[in-house]
Amino acid sequence: MQETMQNMQPTKLKSLKLEQWRQFENIELEFSDRVTIITGKNGSGKTSIGSVLAKTFSLEWPLKFVSSPELNQDGGVIYKTSANSSVEEISNSRSYIGELAYIGGFTRRITTDIKVDGEYSILIEHASPIHGLYVPAHRPQFRYMKIGTTRLGLQLPEGIYANYQNSYRAEYIPTNTPKVPSNSIIKETLLSWAIFGYGNKVMRPNVQLSELYEGFEAVLRHLLPEHLRFEKLEIRSPEVVLKTEFGEFSLDAVSGGIGSTIELGWQIFINRFFDKVSVVVIDEPENHLHPEMQQQLLPKLLQAFPEIQFVIATHSPLIVTSIEGARIYVLDFGFNGRVRSKLVDSSNAGTVNETLRDILGLPFTMPIWAAAKIQAIVDRRSTEGFSEEIFESLRNELVEVGLEEYAPTAISDLLEEFHKSRSSGDK
C-alpha cells in the first residue's frame, strides 16, 4: 500500500505546518481547493511560506534562506537556521521544522540542516514533485527588443517551454548571460505561433500552434481590465499589437500594470499547457497594479484558470476582500514577537476598512495626516455627549479641514470613545 502511495503523483496542496523555525512559532494552514489568501505585516513570513511551497514544485524556485550569524564562546561566527533548540531532532544532522500534506493522502516532513553556512536550503523528505508554479513578488519590466527574422523559426511546444524555463531562471538566478526581456520571449513566441499556426498557400497550418495563439488571446480577454476593451492580438511582423475598442498599441509599450498582468497570465498559461500545472503560488500580485485592477485580479484569475488552486500572499486589502468565501489567513505577531497563523472568517472581511483594521492592523483607509486630525477632533469632543447639534458641529469641523467624507468614521469613533469613558467611569 505504501509503495502504491509513493508511486502516485500528488496534484494539489492540502495543508502546511511549520513550527519553531525562523520567525514562526506555529503556522497551520489548510488550503482551499480554489484560493487561499495569506496576509500580514512586513516580516511576518509570507514570502518564506511561498518559498517552502515552491520547494515541492516541478519547476523549482531557486531561493535559499539566509541563516542567523551568532558568536560562539571563542568569538567566532557560527550560522544557525533560526530553528528553535527545542525542535524535535530527526537525526544528528537535521531538524524537523514542519510538514506538508497533499490532497490524496501524502504527508511529507520538512527538515533543515542543523549546521549551515550563510545560506541554506530546506528539504521536503521523499517528496514527489507537484506540478506547480511560484511567481515571486518581483515583476520583470517590459523593454523593447526587435525580433530579427532569423529568430522567427518554428516554435515547437518542447522548445517553447524550454525557452520559457531558461528565461524564468535567468530572471532570478545570478548569471553572466545577458537577460532577454520576458516580453520579447512572449512576442517571439506569438509571432511564431501566428506564422506557423495558420500557414499560407505554400505552408500547411499547425493546428496546435493556432490553438495556443487563440488560447492566450482568450486569457488576455479574461485578465486585462475592462476599461481597455481588449479585442484581439494582431501580428505586424516583427511586432505584436494589442487591438482594443478604442485603439491599438504595441505589446512592448504597455504600462507597468498591464505588463505585469500579461506576464502573469503568460506564466500560468504556458505552465498550465506544457507542465500541466495545478497549483500557482503568487507573492504580492498587487505590485504595479492600480487599486481597481487589484480588486479585479483574483476574480479574473479564477475565471481564466478554473481548474487551478491558487495560494496568494498579499499586503493589499483590495485583494484580501476580492473573493467571497476565500480562505484567509493572517500571520500575526504574538506578545513574544513570534508569528502564528490565524484563520479569518471571510464573511467579516467584507469591507476594506474592516480588513485594514482587523487583519493588517491599520485603523483607517485614509492618509496618516488625516487620521491624526480626526483623532484629535474625536478626543476633544468625546466628553461633550451626544445630540443632533453635536453631530452637526462635528461634521462642519470636518468640512473645514477637508475631511467631510470621513464623517461616518469619525462619528463611529466618537461613539466608541464615549462608551469607553462611560465604562471606565462606572468602575
Grid cell for residue 334: 504574538
CA-nearest of 326, 249, 252, 261 to 289 is: 261
Per-residue pLDDT band for 301 (boundaries 50, 70, 90) equals: very high
pLDDT band at 6 (very low <50, low <70, confident <90, very high): very low
Q: Which residue has the cell 468614521?
A: 409
Which of 275-284, 350-359, 378-387 holds the top average pLDDT? 275-284
Q: Could you give the percent of the chain with pLDDT greater than 70? A: 75
pLDDT-based confidence at 137, cuts 50/70/90?
Answer: confident
- Report the relative pairing of strands 65-66 and 132-135 from DSSP bridges: unpaired
The domain locations on the chain are: 2-137+279-358, 149-253, 368-426
* Residue 276 identity: K
- Check pLDDT > 50 for residue 86: no
The per-residue pLDDT of the chain, averaged, comes to 80
Give residue-wise pLDDT tens across range 223-280: 999 999 999 999 887 889 999 998 898 888 888 899 999 999 998 998 888 878 899 9
Q: Please state whether 45 falls in left (phi above 0), alpha (psi between -120 and 50) or beta.
A: left
- Which segments of 41-184 are extended strands (E)? 65-66, 68-71, 77-80, 94-102, 107-113, 119-120, 122-124, 132-135
The tens digit of pLDDT for each residue in 148-192 reads 654 555 556 566 667 766 776 666 666 666 667 777 888 888 988
Nearest Cα residue to 81 out of 121, 44, 25, 48: 121
- Amino acid (1-letter code) at residue 85: S
- Averaged pLDDT for residues 208-221: 93
pLDDT in tens, 31-76: 999 999 999 988 898 999 998 998 888 666 667 788 777 777 777 7
Which range, 49-58, 114-123, 172-181, 299-308, is most confident?
Answer: 299-308
Q: Please, what CATH class does the domain formed by 2-137+279-358 belong to? A: alpha beta
Considering only 3-7, 22-26, 94-98, 361-365, which range has the smallest mean pLDDT? 3-7
- Helices (DSSP H) in 25-81: which residue ranges? 46-54
For the chain, the 3-state helix, strand and coil shares in percent, each to the nearest 5, are 40, 25, 35
Distance between CA atoms of residues 48 and 240, nearest Å:
37
Task: Report residue 109 as a C-alpha cell.
Answer: 516532513
